[in-house]
Amino acid sequence: GENVEQHPSTLSVQEGDSAVIKCTYSDSASNYFPWYKQELGKGPQLIIDIRSNVGEKKDQRIAVTLNKTAKHFSLHITETQPEDSAVYFCAASRKGNNRLAFGKGNQVVVIP
């Protein structure tokens, strides 16, 4: 099955700086790649996603880039704010299959 790995496990950034989290996947048939944000005591919430026919997608301060050849995709957060502090999970799934395989998560800490 799909194996999804995230690096680094913990990332500390100064408020206002950028944060980048990288995710690698193993299944070349995967075509849907979402990022979820999980705050303490809450369930994961989708923040951005990308499909395999697109290389980059932006939504205000967040963006996701996909490199299908290298089988990795990254989450970029610009102008980080304290409310960006959370655990971020990447995931992947195949076409026609909503079964998401999640990575282990990255703890992002934004230092005021």
Interface residues toward other proteins, by CB under 8 A: 4, 32, 34, 36, 41-46, 49, 89, 91, 93, 98-100, 102-105
Specify whether the CB–CB gap between 61 and 69 falls below 8 A: no
- For residue 86, CA distances in Å to 4, 93, 108, 110 come to 19, 23, 6, 9
Q: Which is nearer to other proteins, 20 or 87 (CB)?
A: 87
Q: Which is nearer to other proteins, 29 or 46 (CB)?
A: 46
- For residue 105, CA distances in Å to 38, 43, 101 come to 9, 13, 12
Q: How far is the CB of 24 from other proteins (least distance, A)?
A: 14
Q: How far is the CB of 112 from other proteins (least distance, A)?
A: 25
Q: Which is nearer to other proteins, 5 or 17 (CB)?
A: 5
Q: How far is the CB of 10 from other proteins (least distance, A)?
A: 11
The separation between the first and the last C-alpha atoms of the chain, rounded to the nearest angstrom, is 40
